[in-house]
């Protein structure tokens, strides 16, 4: 019997690749940058499964060409790059990678928050380029976490882990906003559920962990930034699409808010001429939330396991219920 065919859209962890090879005929794009669209479309025409990344757009156009596709395994927890209605209408299964990148992303969020509030990148640059004239009472100061109110927008796995990590920093209050109450998880951390407006108004730090969906697109707009404190810090490690980026740029330029730390933006990579790069009060990271060695290895392995299980008609370890 012929083995199922899988297309892998990037060089991946060798163990994850071997796992696929033990079970399937594998073809891969091995470039270090995303597979060119034409190449991707050409390669999906006869595959049973697709191993993709968040940089690959899986839309109607692609699905129309992938007539035999039975399963998509995305090496990500986010799935805004997948056109879910089209996938669902074709009965294609989707596997994704929740849980295993939660700690890595929560860690990075705290790192980004501290880098932004305590101006670490700016301070490092000053030290290296002669800006460090002497210890000075007001130089390189920024808001501290101790005694502050932190608002977490989206209180899923990652939001909750961020909350837990904030506790040792002696924050006074942790607020959260989410569609449904998460009383048990919130009680564990001592977090209080508030609505979006209250969270914006009361928080010294606003952390965004909400996933991108039509109802969350651009929720951080001009109006939202105006509700935040002028001393507040905005941190986004979810998706750039939840932010109206022009409004954020304006808010940072006009000091409507104090600073922003972004691991995600629109588009990615952010063009070098983006006004965001010109702002001293904006820390920009290149979407590295899950970039620990273990998390990335486990994400690749889980994606392979999801695909193999679906091809064998077995329960997938992490199926996205469409």
Residues at the contact surface with ligand DGY, assessed by CB under 6 A: 54, 76-78, 101, 289-290
Residue 316 C-beta: closest distance to ligand DGY, Å: 17
Shortest Cβ distance from residue 75 to ligand DGY (Å)?
7
CB of 81 to ligand DGY, least distance (A): 9
CA distance 306 to 95: 5
CB of 98 to ligand DGY, least distance (A): 9
Under a CB-based contact definition with an 8 Å cutoff, are residues 163 and 191 in contact? yes
Q: Of the two residues 5 and 157, which places its CB atom closer to ligand DGY in the complex?
A: 157
Catalytic residue, from 70, 287, 296, 305: name it: 287
The answer to whether the CB of 44 falls within 8 A of the CB of 50 is yes
The rounded distance, in Å, linking the Cα atoms of 206 and 259 is 11
Q: Which residues pair with 26 in a beta bridge?
A: 6
| Segments of the chain assigned E as strands | 5-8, 25-28, 49-52, 71-74, 93-95, 149-153, 173-177, 191-193, 205-208, 233-236, 259-262, 282-284
C-beta closer to ligand DGY: residue 65 or 81: 81
Rounded to the nearest 10°, the torsion over CA 219, 223, 226, 229 is: -40
Instruction: For ligand DGY, give the closer residue by CB, 26 or 77.
Output: 77
Is 287 in the active site? yes
Nearest position to ligand DGY, beta carbon? 78
| Least separation in angstroms between CB 254 and ligand DGY | 29
Q: Which is nearer to ligand DGY, 116 or 209 (CB)?
A: 209
Nearer to ligand DGY, 185 or 237 (CB): 237
Give the nearer residue to ligand DGY in terms of CB position, either 40 or 285. 285
Instruction: State the minimum distance, in angstroms, from the CB of residue 125 to ligand DGY.
Output: 26
Quote the CA–CA distance of 149 and 154 in Å, as a whole number: 16
Q: How close are the terminal C-alpha atoms of the chain, in Å?
A: 31
d(CA 133, CA 150): 34
What letter does residue 267 receive in the DSSP assignment?
S
Strand order in the sheet with 25-28: 25-28, 5-8, 49-52, 71-74, 93-95
CA distance 217 to 233: 20
Distances (CA, A) of 303 to 106, 160, 290, 298, 310: 21, 24, 15, 8, 11
Q: Which residues are catalytic?
A: 287
């Amino acid at each position: 019997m012929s083995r199922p065919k899988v297309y892998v859209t990037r060089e991946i962890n060798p163990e994850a690749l071997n796992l696929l090879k033990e079970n399937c005929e594998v073809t891969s794009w091995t470039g270090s940058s995303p597979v060119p669209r034409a190449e991707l479309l050409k390669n999906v025409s006869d595959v049973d499964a697709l191993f993709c990344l968040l940089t690959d757009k899986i839309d109607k156009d692609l699905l129309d060409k992938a007539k035999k596709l039975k399963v998509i395994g995305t090496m990500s927890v986010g799935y805004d790059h997948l056109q879910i209605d089209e996938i669902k209408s074709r009965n294609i299964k989707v596997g994704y990678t929740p849980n295993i990148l939660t700690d890595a992303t929560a860690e990075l969020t705290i790192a980004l928050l501290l880098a932004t509030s305590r101006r670490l990148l700016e301070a490092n640059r000053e030290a290296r380029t002669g800006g460090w004239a002497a210890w000075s009472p007001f130089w390189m100061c920024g808001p501290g976490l101790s005694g502050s109110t932190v608002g977490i927008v989206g209180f899923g796995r990652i939001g909750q882990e961020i909350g837990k990590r904030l506790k040792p920093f002696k924050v006074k209050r942790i607020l959260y906003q989410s569609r449904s109450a998460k009383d048990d998880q919130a009680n564990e951390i001592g977090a209080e559920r508030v609505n979006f407006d209250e969270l914006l108004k009361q928080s010294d730090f606003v952390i965004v962990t909400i996933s991108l969906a039509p109802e969350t697109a651009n929720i951080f707009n001009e109006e939202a930034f105006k509700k935040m404190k002028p001393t507040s810090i905005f941190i986004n490690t979810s998706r750039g699409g939840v932010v109206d980026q022009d409004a954020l740029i304006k808010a940072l330029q006009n000091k409507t808010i104090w600073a922003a730390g972004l691991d995600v933006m629109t588009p990615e990579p952010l063009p070098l001429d983006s006004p965001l790069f010109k702002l001293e009060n904006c820390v920009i990271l290149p979407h590295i939330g899950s970039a620990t060695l273990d998390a990335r290895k486990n994400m690749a392995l889980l994606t392979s396991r999801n695909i193999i299980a679906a091809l064998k008609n077995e329960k997938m370890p992490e199926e996205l219920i469409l």
